[in-house]
Amino acid sequence: MAERLLIKALHGGKNTKIITLNGKKMKKMPSTLERLPGLKILDLQNNLIPKVCPEISSLTQLTALNLGNNLLEEVPEEMKYLTTLKKLHLFGNKICRFAPGACDGLQNLILLNLNKNQLTWLPQEVSRLKRLKYLSINHNQLASIPRELCFLGNLSELQLNYNNLICIPREIGLLKKLQKLFLVRNDIETLPEEICELKKLRILDIAGNLIQIFPSGFQNLKLREFYSEGNPLFLKQPIIAAYKEDDVWSLQEITLRFIMHQLAEENPLLMHVLEWYPEVRNKISQEKICAVCEKPFLTPWLECVEFVPPPKSWKISRNLQLVPLRTFTCCHKCFIHRGRNLFAIAQA
Ligand SMILES: [Zn+2]
């Protein structure tokens, strides 16, 4: 059956644009592919193919390749020849690695589907897929993602559901075009502050993780849909922490607070002098803002949680009545004068 379809395709020669050999129990790719240089779409899903044949390098016009549900063990090196490829489906294989160089030629790839494989890590080379818009790696065993993934400036949708991720890199903030982020069923404990920089993000799904609290500024995201069920989110109830009532600061903290207050008032002398002290500028760049007095400081007096209502424009899961945000207070006096929605986080 497969042979008959292939013979027909071969008659077409250069004019054959599409070949579909879906579910034909094929154990290898047909090497006769090299006689079809005009091929644009090659669909070989649901077969028993363990390897890609070298002849694939002659398909210089191929835009879509579907090798889903086969027996591949790696993202094949031969992919590097497919410089015109836009869509690559490799779901449902046994892929546990990228062959060296596999990403080198895929500079036009827009969609990559690696769902249901056995990947535990991704190579830094994924950053070479410069045009990639849709990346889907659901149902794998990824323990981390490389920061280089965040250099894919065109990425609009990232699906990492059902993996073993414990965190996502701070560089996530670089994905300026990201609109949809799916992180369902991982082991993520905290989201980096930089997630608040994703101005285009509209759908965020973090269901089934270990998140208790969100970074401050999270409530300003312009989300349309936000799903957070199955997380041990802080609930609004007084959390009493043991704390010291007297404020004893290091000399460094006192000095830096003084400098930061002066800078906030645009003290010209200090602004000028600071140009000569990069290490002080570096310190100051890590400043936090007190949730009560809104003044800057470096060493928090107490870590707190503030509960805010989710924005009305968000479609949310039912478990989320109030969004718990990580905030800080700068001193005992501010903590005493905190609002009704602010609580200290008890240290276990
Ligand atoms: Zn304060």
Residue 196: HSE in the Cβ half-sphere, 13 Å Cα cutoff: 12
User: Which of 29-33, 69-73, 173-177, 290-294 is least confident?
Assistant: 29-33
- Asked whether residue 1 carries a pLDDT value surpassing 60, the answer given is no
Tell how far the Cα of 93 is from the centroid of ligand 1, in angstroms: 55
Tell how far the Cα of 289 is from the centroid of ligand 1, in angstroms: 8
Tell how far the Cα of 284 is from the centroid of ligand 1, in angstroms: 17
Tell how far the Cα of 292 is from the centroid of ligand 1, in angstroms: 5
Tell how far the Cα of 239 is from the centroid of ligand 1, in angstroms: 19
Q: Could you tell me if 152 and 174 are in contact, meaning their C-beta atoms sit under 8 angstroms apart? A: no
Residue among 68, 57, 64, 13 at smallest CA distance from 40? 64
Characterize 16-37 residue by residue with b for buried, 16 or more Cβ atoms within 10 angstroms of its Cβ, and e for exposed: beebebeebebeebbeebebbe
Tell how far the Cα of 299 is from the centroid of ligand 1, in angstroms: 11
- What is the model's pLDDT at position 248? 77
- Asked whether residue 33 carries a pLDDT value surpassing 90, the answer given is no
Question: Six-digit token pair at 137?
Answer: 């790696």
Please state, in angstroms and rounded to a whole number, the distance separating the CA atoms of residues 253 and 312. 39
Confidence band for 238, pLDDT divided at 50, 70 and 90: low
- What is the model's pLDDT at position 241? 63
Please state, in angstroms and rounded to a whole number, the distance separating the CA atoms of residues 228 and 206. 5
- Asked whether residue 125 carries a pLDDT value surpassing 70, the answer given is yes
Tell how far the Cα of 344 is from the centroid of ligand 1, in angstroms: 14
- What is the model's pLDDT at position 27? 94
- Asked whether residue 318 carries a pLDDT value surpassing 60, the answer given is yes
**Pairwise pLDDT comparison (269 vs 181), residue with the higher score:** 181
Please name the residues in contact with 6: beta carbons below 8 A apart, sequence gap of 6 or more: 19, 21, 30, 32
- What is the model's pLDDT at position 250? 87
Tell how far the Cα of 333 is from the centroid of ligand 1, in angstroms: 7
**Pairwise pLDDT comparison (312 vs 317), residue with the higher score:** 312
Average pLDDT, the chain: 91
Q: What is the mean pLDDT of residues 283-312?
A: 89
Tell how far the Cα of 171 is from the centroid of ligand 1, in angstroms: 30
The secondary structure of the chain, three-state, reads CHHHHHHHHHHHHHHCCEEECCCCCCCCCCHHHHHCCCCCEEECCCCCCCCCCHHHHHCCCCCEEECCCCCCCEECHHHHHCCCCCEEECCCCCCCEECCCCCCCCCCCCEEECCCCCCCCCCHHHHHCCCCCEEECCCCCCCCCCHHHHHCCCCCEEECCCCCCCCCCHHHHHCCCCCEEECCCCCCCCCCHHHHHCCCCCEEECCCCCCCCECCCHHHCCCCEEECCCCCCCCCCCCCCCCCCCCCCCHHHHHHHHHHHHHHCCCHHHHHHHCCCHHHHHHHCCCEEECCCCCEECCCCEEEEEEECCCCCCEECCCCCCEEEEEEECCHHHHHCCCCCEEECCCC
Tell how far the Cα of 214 is from the centroid of ligand 1, in angstroms: 20
Q: Could you tell me if 46 and 22 are in contact, meaning their C-beta atoms sit under 8 angstroms apart? A: yes
- What is the model's pLDDT at position 244? 64
Please name the residues in contact with 141: beta carbons below 8 A apart, sequence gap of 6 or more: 118, 119, 120, 163, 164
Tell how far the Cα of 300 is from the centroid of ligand 1, in angstroms: 9
Tell how far the Cα of 332 is from the centroid of ligand 1, in angstroms: 8
Confidence band for 31, pLDDT divided at 50, 70 and 90: confident
- What is the model's pLDDT at position 202? 98
Q: Could you tell me if 53 and 28 are in contact, meaning their C-beta atoms sit under 8 angstroms apart? A: yes
- What is the model's pLDDT at position 138? 98
- What is the model's pLDDT at position 240? 62
Domains and CATH numbers, the chain: 2-227 (3.80.10.10), 251-344 (no CATH)
Tell how far the Cα of 259 is from the centroid of ligand 1, in angstroms: 16
Tell how far the Cα of 94 is from the centroid of ligand 1, in angstroms: 55
- Asked whether residue 41 carries a pLDDT value surpassing 60, the answer given is yes
pLDDT > 70: percent of the chain: 95
- C-alpha angle with apex 202: 200 to 203, nearest 5 degrees? 135
Residues measured by CB to lie within 5 Å of ligand 1, the ion: 290, 292-293, 330, 334
- Asked whether residue 116 carries a pLDDT value surpassing 90, the answer given is yes
Q: What is the mean pLDDT of residues 236-243?
A: 66
Q: What is the mean pLDDT of residues 30-59?
A: 93
- What is the model's pLDDT at position 165? 98
Residue 12: strand pairing partners:
none
Tell how far the Cα of 192 is from the centroid of ligand 1, in angstroms: 23
- What is the model's pLDDT at position 110? 98
- What is the model's pLDDT at position 271? 87
pLDDT > 90: percent of the chain: 66
127-143 tens-digit pLDDT: 999 999 999 999 999 99
- What is the model's pLDDT at position 242? 63
Tell how far the Cα of 342 is from the centroid of ligand 1, in angstroms: 13
Tell how far the Cα of 334 is from the centroid of ligand 1, in angstroms: 5
Tell how far the Cα of 346 is from the centroid of ligand 1, in angstroms: 19
Please state, in angstroms and rounded to a whole number, the distance separating the CA atoms of residues 59 and 285. 52
Tell how far the Cα of 199 is from the centroid of ligand 1, in angstroms: 29
- Asked whether residue 88 carries a pLDDT value surpassing 60, the answer given is yes
